[in-house]
C-alpha cells in the first residue's frame, strides 16, 4: 500500500488502533485527520 489516510479518533480505539502500527511499518505516506489528535499514537504520521 502506498498511502494511508486515517480519519477520526481511531488512533485510540481498539481494535482499529492496531491498524496505525501496521501501516506505520509498511506504508511510505501516512496521514491522519483529527481535530484533537493524540500525537503519542501518531508518530510517523502527518497530522492534518
Q: What is the pTM of this model?
A: 0.74
pLDDT of residue 47: 93
Asked whether 25 and 39 are in contact (CB, 8 A), the reply is: no
Domain residue limits, the chain = 3-47
Q: Specify the pLDDT at position 29.
A: 93
**pLDDT per residue over 11-40, tens digit each?**
777 777 788 778 877 889 999 998 888 888
Amino acid at each position: 500500500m502506498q498511502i494511508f489516510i486515517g480519519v477520526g479518533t481511531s488512533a485510540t480505539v481498539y481494535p482499529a488502533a492496531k491498524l496505525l502500527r501496521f501501516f506505520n511499518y509498511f506504508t511510505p505516506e501516512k496521514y491522519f485527520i483529527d481535530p484533537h489528535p493524540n500525537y503519542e499514537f501518531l508518530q510517523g504520521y502527518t497530522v492534518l
